[in-house]
Amino acid sequence: MRHLIAGLILAISILSSVGRADNRAYVVNNLAETLSMIDLETGAVDNQAAILGETPNQAVVYDGYLYVVNSVSANILKFDKETLQLTADIPLPIGSNPYFADFHGNYGYVTGWVSGKVYRVNLASNTVDREVETGRYPEGILYDGGRIYVTRTNFNPNDFSYGQGDIAVINASSFEIEGYHNVGINPQWISKSPDDRLHVVCTGNYVNIEGSVHIYDLASGQMVDTVAIGGQPGQLAISALGIGYLAAGGWFESGMIFSYDIFSGQVLRGPSNPISAGLGVTSVGVDGRGFIYSCDFGDDTVTKLDPSGQIIRGFGLGDGPISIAIDDDVVIGTDPEDITELPDKPTLMENYPNPFNGGTVIAYRGAKGWNEDSFIEIYDIGGKLIIKLKSETLAAPGMVYWDGRGRDSEFCPSGVYFARISDRGNGSKVLKMTILR
């Protein structure tokens, strides 16, 4: 794969949150058929934020609204994201089993798993106004550049097997299928990365074919690579600095999250060394600071983890959390004009927040071939080493979290601190940080 970083000039913009519903996570509780809301700043949880339809499957925040796709009742509920007042109940054909949705402009696009169709919803009239038959039990869906990309699982309900998976490409104007591209077995999810490629997550057949991620290049219209990640990956969330986090189940001792570098395809955490979370991870989200949130269906929790995969805390949710939509006011983004080759040495980019009184996220840019164990070192103003923070690898972009403690696990006092990468003694950029207690 191309060793590209799409805009690793870190831009952190803080938007006003007065009168807005930013800094929230919305969680669909599939079995309880309720919506939970988590305040990302205070950690407060409302497990009765809204009543949903039958077998709710997905939450999406778009253009000031929260949309919830309900599979059995075959409808989409449209809530004002600030007040969570229901503004519309959008019906879909009964028995269609709507699965996932994506939104663009004045339209929503929804897969019907049982009907084998894709529906277009007019968001002004809140009605279905177009449909196209795809067949083969479609699930994942994504709009980009005038086309709709749909994963077709090719499920066989007679023997519960899976045939050849593919993605169907639909022209959004004519609403006709333009073509198909083969991927792996049981493609369930599709996401777009900053370098204009689609990542198609194929879960495998749950028996003897493991999961993989297939990469589709939008410019060439071709499949260009495969990440053989293994296990049974499901939904994918991509962080601002190019790490893909995959919900990967884990139904016995602990839940599992896999991760990989979306630019190089390097597997960072797979079946042999997964990120541990609550039992039965069905969905993942990443906020603007790089924190990871997992929906843990097996023990009715959401787990919050720092960018290195360490558990920070858990939130008690309703029965069967299955989908999370994060709406926060921190944007750690990239400039698409600044696409460059990875440098020869890793570099610290920025930390947020700064100043801080709790913890801070330190972002870094990776380097080609940098696969050895690496640390980010924290020093006080007198040059004393406070702590070493372990990073998974500095061969990829990423983030680490410092909780403001030293090696003795005590909180460091107010003052100025410095971060640098331990890099074979060749020196590196020093990042200045301030703790305010």
Handedness of CA 369, 370, 371, 372 (dihedral sign): positive
The predicted pLDDT at position 375 comes to: 79
Just give the CATH number of 343-435: 2.60.40.4070
Q: How far is CA 142 from the centre of its chain?
A: 14
Domain definitions of the chain by residue range: 4-333, 343-435
Model pLDDT, residue 159: 96
Tracing tokens 């103003």 back to the chain, one arrives at 381
Whether the link from the prior residue into 353 is cis, omega within 30° of 0, is yes
Q: What is the pLDDT of residue 412?
A: 96
What per-residue confidence (pLDDT) applies to 335? Answer: 37
Token output for 404: 């403001």
Structure tokens at 349: 């980019």
Q: How many CA atoms lie within 13 A of 36 on its CB side?
A: 26
Nearby residues of 336 by Cβ (< 8 Å), 6 or more positions away: 6, 7, 194
User: Is 255 in a helix, a strand, or coil?
Assistant: strand
4-333 folds as: Methylamine Dehydrogenase; Chain H (2.130.10)
Beta-strand pair 330-333/11-14: antiparallel
The pLDDT assigned to 373 comes to 58
| pLDDT tens for the 437 residues of the chain, in order | 333 333 333 333 333 333 345 689 999 999 999 999 999 989 999 999 999 999 999 999 999 999 999 999 999 999 999 999 999 999 999 999 999 999 999 999 999 999 999 999 999 999 999 999 999 999 999 999 999 999 999 999 999 999 999 999 999 999 999 999 999 999 999 999 888 899 999 999 999 999 999 999 999 999 999 999 999 999 999 987 778 999 999 999 999 999 998 888 989 999 999 999 999 999 999 998 789 999 999 999 999 998 878 899 999 999 999 999 999 865 443 333 333 444 556 778 788 778 888 788 888 776 655 545 567 899 998 889 999 887 654 445 667 788 899 999 999 999 999 998 876 544 566 889 999 98
- 332: its two tokens: 């750690």
Residue 375 Ramachandran class (φ > 0 left, ψ -120 to 50 alpha, else beta): beta
CA 262 to chain centre: 12
The pLDDT, as a whole number, for residue 16 is: 32
Q: Tell me, what's the pLDDT at 19?
A: 32
What distance in Å separates the CA atoms of residue 407 and residue 422, rounded to the nearest whole number? 17
pLDDT of residue 392: 52
- b/e burial code for range 53-85 (CB count within 10 A of at least 16 → b): bebbbbbbbbeebbbbbbbebbbbbbbebeebe
Give me the pLDDT at residue 337, please: 37
Among 177, 129, 131, CA closest to 150: 177
